[in-house]
Structure 1
Amino acid sequence: MTPDSIAVLATRTLTELDHARLAKYADGLPASAIQSVLDNAELVAPSEIGADVVTMRSRVQVVEPAGERQRRTLTLSYPSDADPATGCISVLSPVGTALLGLRVGDVANWVAPDGSGGQLQIAAIAYQPEASGEHLL
């Protein structure tokens, strides 16, 4: 599977604002997984997104579905805010793109540039800007 095919396996829901902001990043990328997500996503107003959907700047708790199920917390960030050492992952990374627009309970699948793959199940959303009334962040 290519990264592009991984990105569209699950139905994605994005806010219109996230979609517009991310489209600017995707414009300069050749046939990217993020472009595939943007092209195939269901769009909703920020005020209408479900609290169980991973949006930009969401802090999510994830587990490896086949592992010991120990929870890790990741924050979905724009590239300029990414800091993997602190759990802030870029939406343009394979993991970030795989998480975007999924719901609690969904499993994110990705293929890294080196060809290795991974999976994380979304166990909970600890913080979502829209659910906190922060619709313009």
Structure 2
Amino acid sequence: MHKTLAGERLLTEIDFARLNNLRGGPLPPELVDALDTLDLVPSREIPPDVVTMYSQVIVEDLETRKRQKLTLCYPADAEPHLGFISVLSPVGTSLLGQRVGAIARWRTPNGDACAAEVVTLLFQPEASGDYTT
């Protein structure tokens, strides 16, 4: 069963501050909207099933059922061919703050609608005690 968690996406206060520092350049409108609507929590209080920056997740494409391991990262660390997905990309923005079981939805640059379920959270920095990465 898929969870619908609209309005229940969470973001750590430190991720919020760092992402706001990116506002010096052009940010995708979806990320600006997310920064304005995600609920902020201290890093030590983020639930272990929430996708934060540098989380590693397994997502499953709802159409193809193909699974991929992705790591959500800042633009300077992005290497899409290795699964390091920038938070500025449509996929990255859609994953930020999602919980395991949620459906991330985004549009490709050519306008195609895509959706993937967050199947597993393999690693979350905060869950491992890293509150500053």
TM-score calculated relative to the size of structure 1: 0.88
Is contact 2:27-2:88 (8 Å) kept?
no
- Correspondence 1:11-90 to 2 at 5 A: 11-29=8-26, 32-68=29-65, 70-90=66-86
Deviation sequence 1:47-97 (CA, Å, 0-9, x none): 0000000000000011012333x4210000100000001000000000000
Matched, 1:122 2:118: yes
Is contact 1:26-1:32 (8 Å) kept?
no
Give how far 1:29 is off. 2.2
Identity of aligned residues (%): 45
- Which runs of 5 or more residues in structure 2 are unaligned? 1-5
Q: Distance in 2 between matches of 1:96 and 1:26?
A: 16
- Shift >6 Å, 4+ stretches: none
Q: Distance in 2 between matches of 1:117 and 1:94?
A: 11
- Which runs of 5 or more residues in structure 1 are unaligned? 1-8
Give how far 1:26 is off. 2.9
AA in 1 matched with 2:97: G
Is contact 2:28-2:88 (8 Å) kept?
no
TM-score calculated relative to the size of structure 2: 0.90
How much is the aligned-residue C-alpha RMSD, in angstroms?
1.7
The residue matched to 1:43 in structure 2 has which SS?
strand
Give how far 1:25 is off. 1.2
Residue of structure 2 equivalent to 1:6: none
Is contact 2:56-2:69 (8 Å) kept?
yes
| Number of matched pairs | 129
Deviation sequence 1:27-49 (CA, Å, 0-9, x none): 43266111100000100000000
Q: Distance in 2 between matches of 1:11 and 1:42?
A: 7
AA in 2 matched with 1:41: L
The residue matched to 1:131 in structure 2 has which SS?
helix
Q: Distance in 1 between matches of 2:114 and 2:83?
A: 16
